[in-house]
Amino acid sequence: MKLVLILGCLVTLGLAQDAINPRRFPSSLRIGVANAAPQIEGGWDADGKGETIWDHFAHTFPERIVDRSTPDIACDSYNKYKEDVALVKAMGLDHYRLSIAWSRVLPTGYTDNVNQAGVQYYKNLFKELKDNNIIPMVTLYHWDLPQPLQDQMGGWLNESIVNIFADYTKFCWETFGDDANWWITINEPKQVCQAGYGSGVFAPGIVSDGILDYVCTKNVLLAHAKAWHIYNDLFRKTNKGQVGMVIDSSWYEPGSESDEDKESAERAMQFDIGIYGNPLFNGDWPAVVKERVAARSKLEGFSESRLPILTDFEIDYIKGTSDFLGLNHYSTLLINHTAEAPIGRPSFESDKSVQYWHRPEWTQGSADWFFDVPWGLRKFLSWLKKTFNNPEIVITENGFSDTSGTLEDDKRITYLEGHVSACLDAIYEDNVNLTGYTVWSIMDDWEWTGGYTSFLGMYKVDFNDPDRPRIKRKSADYFTGVMKKRCLVDEDKCVD
């Protein structure tokens, strides 16, 4: 009992090294790698592709990208996709998460103007995956809104986007329904809304913190739900697949045993994950989000809550529309209670109202919020199981970013080993229904406002070489070995 207590305290303090789980991966767990069209394809205006909000953002505001770079060429996967598929094949991976660039297939965003060359690009990519026996996991929206939809109608702030997005997804299912059956509607809506239309640090760069970001949140949820209903009504029978949304968050661990810190950590989870997960799995916004935004809005002088109401019809329409919960997870932070922010200018962070910190001994990645804390992932998975009634969970992104780009990437190996081990703990010890784990990423890419300065690839890409060679890092060999054994420890120690 004493030992359990001491271990418990050490884990809470972030001092314990979790043992690596020796179990063989269950056959129900697919393992793969992820990336996204705007970060790897390049060919930004090739063969009829339309401009996206990220093309526009990087071209118009170079100072907002740390190295003033653009996604114009990126990894040149538009031309080198066969090479990429060969890398995935050589690593023995089960699946490849890719995204379809909306504006490559529908340059204006609308279905009346189809770019056949763009359609052919994805047809070729799907064929290459099929020929190599690799399962495609397809994201339909990875932040790259066609620019005309932003210019003409305000993008995700206009509720017409619900129908326009749903039309696009229908087009994709009609066009690519024979090529794939594992679908993600929207990647990380929190970044789309809070970063794109709240803080404005991401494209399209609209600054309306705590106001229009919530409008975006509602539209994103309705757009996702409408897409899911279309799939369910028209395509599920023949496509026999799954459609889910991918939400992202760090794990927020209470910074102490105090009730206030525990409540603050839970509140942070509800603001970051619950704001999407609760409508999808339980129905309606999380109560704490509803209450806090309404109360602060009133004090600020708004006549109604800055958080739009979900009507009974909408609550019903959204609930139950994610066949699995896609999770992008990178880090863990500690959370303390903090004094209520003064009433003044609204903001999402003031609505959330927590203080973040981390243990100095945690290994840091490329950002001030990025730490290697595997036990955080295990706790997170249990929290999702409990909070959302045991959904099927697929980890759609997890990986380690550094700024050095070293080929001897031992920190990435330690990170991946710890996090996959945490997944095995969750599956075997905590009975979490986890069916997928996906590393971000197979190769370095254009990291949005981080440009080409933070690296997550198991292969390095030389962005100074016009040929964009892919160069193996130590982690690629490590992960190839893991896939061969489907186990994290030596074969003779692996437990079946």
Does 248 bind ligand BGC (CB under 6 A)? Our answer is yes
Number of alpha carbons in the 13 Å side-chain half-sphere of residue 463: 24
Bridge partners (DSSP) of residue 332 are 251
DSSP string across 278-327: IIIIISSS-HHHHHHHHHHHHHHT-SS-SSPPPPHHHHHHHTT--SSEEE
Residue 397 is a catalytic residue: yes
Q: Is 36 in the site for ligand BGC (CB under 6 A)?
A: yes
Q: Taking the alpha carbons of 280, 320, 164, 57 in that order, is the dihedral positive or negative?
A: positive
DSSP structural state of residue 373: -
Report, in Å, the least distance between residue 187 CB and ligand BGC.
5
Q: Is 278 in the site for ligand BGC (CB under 6 A)?
A: no
Q: Which is nearer to ligand BGC, 143 or 317 (CB)?
A: 143
User: Is there binding between residue 187 and ligand BGC (CB under 6 A)?
Assistant: yes
| 328 is an interface residue for ligand BGC by CB under 6 A | yes
* DSSP assignment of 79-128: HHHHHHHHHHHHTT-SEEEEE--HHHHSTTSSTTS--HHHHHHHHHHHHH
Touching ligand BGC, residues 400-419 (CB under 6 A) = 401
Q: Mask 98-137, x = binds ligand BGC (CB under 6 A)?
A: ----------------------------------------
Write the interaction track for ligand BGC spanning residues 367-406; mark x where CB under 6 A is met and - where it is not.
------------------------------x---x-----
Rounded distance, CA 15 to CA 5, Å?
A: 14
Q: Does 188 bind ligand BGC (CB under 6 A)?
A: yes
* Local structure of 490: helix, strand or coil: coil
C-beta closer to ligand BGC: residue 188 or 213: 188
Q: Is 218 within 8 Å of 308 (Cβ atoms)?
A: yes
Does residue 216 sit in helix, strand or coil? Answer: helix
Q: Which is nearer to ligand BGC, 25 or 251 (CB)?
A: 251
How would you label 34-54 residue by residue, b for 16+ Cβ within 10 Å and e otherwise? bbbbbbbbbbbeeeebbbbbb
Nearer to ligand BGC by Cβ, of 149 and 246: the residue is 246
Which segment (183-191, 257-265, 292-300, 353-361) binds ligand BGC by CB under 6 A? 183-191
Please work out the total of residues on this chain that contact ligand BGC, with binding judged by CB under 6 A: 12
Residues assigned a catalytic role: 397
State the residues that interact with ligand BGC by CB under 6 A.
36, 39, 187-188, 191, 248, 328, 397, 401, 440, 447, 456
